[in-house]
Structure 1
């Protein structure tokens, strides 16, 4: 166990993580961590990479915004080159 001191940082509070803890968690300055408070304990875990929100969250956000906020279509001009798509097939 290592004791650390809580310091004031703007309107928040902060702690310094010892180098050994940073190394054990494979953390670097600027990384994001998940903080959980459970049964009087603070738990820090390296954040898992999340490329996009889960589908149910995206659908819920679309429902929240409503159809009137749907982005319009973009006219990119006539087809040309290998991206040409035939509507006759």
Structure 2
């Protein structure tokens, strides 16, 4: 069991820590840096979208809440109020 924990620790260190040392020495093209900056947003969307469809009784309520949150974000509303507003919006349409 201890051998397995040590092996998994080493595998994690090699794949997470060592690339950080090598990437700092690389000079990446600007288009690649721009592309890599969008990965967190794509991953966040993949994590959030299933919750939108399953958090409430009917998926349409979640979709309407997401649309409401998107409209608030386009209006440059602070994030706290976007979250709070979309929660209240979904609650009201579910009544």
Superposed pair shares fold, TM > 0.5 = no
Q: TM-score, normalised by structure 1?
A: 0.24
- The structure richer in strand per residue is 1
Q: Which has the larger radius of gyration?
A: 1
Whose helix proportion is higher, 1 or 2? 2
